[in-house]
Amino acid sequence: MKFFYVINGRRLKQSLIVIIAAFFTASILYMGNQQQSVFSTKEGPMAIYKGEKTGKNIALTFDINWGDEQADKILDVLKNEGIKNTTFFISASWAERHPQVVERIVKEGHDIGSMGYHYRNYTDWDEKKIKRDILLADTTLKKLGIKDVKFLRTPNGNFNKKILKIADSYGYSIVHYSIDSKDYTNPGVEKIVENVVPNVSAGDIVLLHASDSATQTDKALPLIIKGLKSKNLQSVTVDELISNAEIRSSEIK
């Protein structure tokens, strides 16, 4: 496994550390003193796994591929809590069926990321099929007025080197996560909160779900937000979490 730390280039702000991971190698690298594309290194494109290590920012992310009731409930919670900058990863086939929810997500200040069109496991597909799905999703989202989508989260979180390269060739960076709420298992509100709040720290990307199959997320979310505030943490979009970065590298043995 390789971890890449990205340092913020803004002169008047504190150093920003972004951890980028790809799960297809066995060694660990620590980046230093190389200016390159944030998500492509000499060893190829990497997946975003964690954001800035210092400061107070984290990213709440929500996956959606089915239903609209939970999505609206979660958007209601975010609105009531005054949070306007999370990131929703959506399958384009779902977006076609629920354009009004997509419109609301954007209108209320949240970012959109892609999960492809069909929401199928890319590791089971050949290169041609993966490319077709990514492009179909891109076309569909553009028809819905969603342009300049930068980030792709692979269905079920599964990816490999081939998928990373395909995504990169279409201008996408794959976004993974560092905190898994496991809300999709519906383990109980308290357990969802327990999976997030005690473990979260600056830079974390938190995985949550807004599909109707995740029936407890809307109830857990206010408690998660309360916990974030108690730790002096705030949610920003994935884009903001990793913006204006330059890569530095050195090897950790």
User: In 10 A of CB 105, how many CB atoms?
Assistant: 26
Residue type, 215: T
Residue 217's SS3 state is helix
Mean pLDDT of 71-95: 98
Taking only Cα atoms into account, the Rg of the chain, rounded to an integer number of angstroms, comes to 17
- pLDDT bracket for residue 250 (50, 70, 90): very low
Q: What is the pLDDT of residues 159-186, one digit of tens each?
A: 999 999 999 999 999 999 999 999 999 9
Any idea which residues carry the catalytic annotation? 63, 209
- Is the pLDDT at 251 greater than 70? The verdict is no
What percentage of residues in the chain have a pLDDT greater than 70?
79
Helix (H) or strand (E) holding 76: helix 69-80
55-237 placed in CATH 3.40.50.1370: no
The pLDDT score that the predictor gives to residue 49 is: 87
Tokens of 142: 């553009």
pLDDT band at 17 (very low <50, low <70, confident <90, very high): very low
Would you give the distance in Å from CA 150 to the centre of its chain?
11
Stretch (H or E) spanning 49:
strand 47-50
pLDDT reported for residue 40: 52
